[in-house]
Amino acid sequence: MRDLLRSRRAAFGAALLVLAACHRAAPAPALLSTPTAGQLRADVAVLASPAFEGRGTGTAGNDSAAAFIAGRYTALRLASVAQPERVACAQGGVTGKAECFLLPFSASVPVRNAAPRSYRSQNVVALIPGRGALAGEYVILGAHFDHLGRDSSSARDPEKGRAIRPGADDNGSGTATVMEVARRLAKEPAGRSVIVVNFSGEELGLLGSTHFANNLPVAKEKVQAMVNLDMVGRLKNDKLIVYGVQTAAEMKAIVDSANVEPKLALAAIGDGEGPSDHAAFYRKDLPVLHLFTDLHDDYHTANDVAEKLNIDGMVRVADYTERVVRALADRPGRLTFQRVQTAASNRPSSRAGSGVYLGTVPDMAAGDVKGMPLSGVRPGSPAEQGGLKAGDIIIKFGTKAITSIYDYTDAMGAYKPDDVVEIVVKRGTAEVTVTVKLGRRG
């Protein structure tokens, strides 16, 4: 099916053509007359449904997910951004054509010991015009809608082969929340215009967001900030992690003032880097925020299903996101961009590893800690059996020094199940060495 899609000359034509490429009929993008929770639940159920087969970039399921989102923006009567090759889709012009929201792109991904792999996909982009003197400036609100599809190479359960990885939290949750915030902003626009973007190709290396950031439909100098939502569906203990709070001098105050009662337990981290779509904009010297409700055991597995999401928590994240976006869009002055000097520690990369299981729980809210901080270990796991504990900071894994979560995932990928490895941790003021026999994932 992928080869068939790539051979189509009009792969990114009208939404109806995209829908026709599905293996199954795609659900209609209905707007419910229910409260926010009902809409979020319904949208994630669609995005994580078997009809979209995990939304892998370059697949029919991904194309159909794009058409589903475009259909929603059509129903909301949002405007399209300027597209020179599509006169009928000029900014502020035609609002009733779903295809006007699909912006195609092509990208190549390096493959070890093989030729680069080419992908054709699309971002979904809509415009909510602002009102008043600030309408000529912009806030970008985004989330990626792609996931792993049936590809096991980046999955944490490779033993399941070509099983669908539904990606309900990663990132059906962010996609649905962005669509909900767009609905609210369309009903009551802010001062600055808001560009809503749903990116494809994030799981392959920020392909869609990088293309969009490199080809902004407006002048970069007119962009106030970018707000990214990625994995916001598993709110636990009220904790919401917010990256990028030091990317503008004024950002911390904005983040804090948006946290009204009943307050979220914000874990504010300064860095604007990390493997999610906000990084593409930070690298263009734009202030960014990234909202994230933390990792969980189902990340990049077939168990990331809609039934496991905290829908009430998603409502709270939607409420918070709306307040942040409105604050950014309504403030009279521009933000003062700052580049943050820090050792990045964000979500893990999508490196597949080799099926190794240790059972550590990363502390994603630890901030700028040198090493790999742990918030816990899984009961009965090799980590627990080997003596690792909550609060430990892994600083060496075998022969490799660990300064970040990226070093840690790379080090894990060099081993196989049943290997024995020495791990050095910082525990309090002491350095402790433990010996662990690695397990097999699944």
DSSP per residue over 304-366, as a string?
Answer: --GGGS-HHHHHHHHHHHHHHHHHHHH-SSPP-B----S----SPP---TTSEE--EEE-TTS
What is the distance between the alpha carbons of residues 287 and 251, in angstroms, rounded to a whole number?
A: 8
> Taking a C-beta distance cutoff of 8 angstroms, is the pair 258, 302 a contact?
no
What is the distance between the alpha carbons of residues 55 and 59, in angstroms, rounded to a whole number?
A: 7
Going from N- to C-terminal start, the domains of the chain cover 2-330, 356-440
User: What element of type H or E holds 107?
Assistant: strand 102-111
- Coil vs helix vs strand at 181: helix
Give the helix, strand, coil percentages of the chain, each rounded to 5: 30, 25, 45
What is the percent of the chain with per-residue pLDDT over 90, rounded to a whole number? 65
Phi, psi of 30 (to 5 degrees): -70, 145
What is the distance between the alpha carbons of residues 62 and 70, in angstroms, rounded to a whole number?
A: 12
pLDDT at 33 over 60: no
b (16+ CB within 10 A) / e for 360-395: bbbbbbbbeeebbbbbbbeeebbbbebbbeeebbbb
Token output for 178: 């962005």
298: left (phi over 0), alpha (psi -120 to 50) or beta: alpha
Q: What are 398-429's pLDDT values in tens digits?
A: 999 998 877 888 888 889 899 999 999 999 99
pLDDT band at 369 (very low <50, low <70, confident <90, very high): confident
What type of residue sits at position 342? Answer: T
pLDDT given at position 356: 84
- Span 356-440: which CATH code? 2.30.42.10
Task: Please tell me what DSSP assigns to residue 19.
Answer: H
pLDDT given at position 380: 84
Mean pLDDT, residues 275-283: 94
Average pLDDT, the chain: 86
Q: What are 326-368's pLDDT values in tens digits?
A: 999 999 999 999 998 754 444 444 444 457 889 888 877 666 6
b (16+ CB within 10 A) / e for 80-116: bbebeebeebeeeeebebbbbbbbebebeeeeeeeee
SS (H, E, C) 31-96: CCCCCHHHHHHHHHHHHCCHHHHHHECCCHHHHHHHHHHHHHHHHCCCECCCCCCCHHHCCCCCCC
Mean pLDDT, residues 211-237: 96
pTM: 0.80
2-330, which class in CATH?
Answer: alpha beta
pLDDT at 10 over 70: no
435: nearest Cα among 416, 426, 417, 422: 422
Q: What are 55-104's pLDDT values in tens digits?
A: 999 999 999 999 999 999 988 989 888 666 665 675 444 545 778 899 99
Mean pLDDT, residues 9-25: 37
pLDDT given at position 8: 31
pLDDT band at 377 (very low <50, low <70, confident <90, very high): confident
pLDDT at 13 over 50: no
Q: What are 178-208's pLDDT values in tens digits?
A: 999 999 999 999 999 999 999 999 999 999 9
Phi, psi of 169 (to 5 degrees): -80, -40
Q: What are 136-172's pLDDT values in tens digits?
A: 999 999 999 999 999 998 898 888 999 999 999 999 9
pLDDT given at position 69: 96
pLDDT given at position 357: 85
Q: What are 97-130's pLDDT values in tens digits?
A: 778 899 999 988 877 677 888 999 999 999 999 9
Angle at 371 between CA 351 and CA 417, to 5 degrees: 45
Beta-bridge partner residues of 147: 56
pLDDT given at position 4: 31
Number of residues that this document lists for the chain: 442
> Taking a C-beta distance cutoff of 8 angstroms, is the pair 150, 55 a contact?
no
Mean pLDDT, residues 229-258: 97
pLDDT at 303 over 70: yes
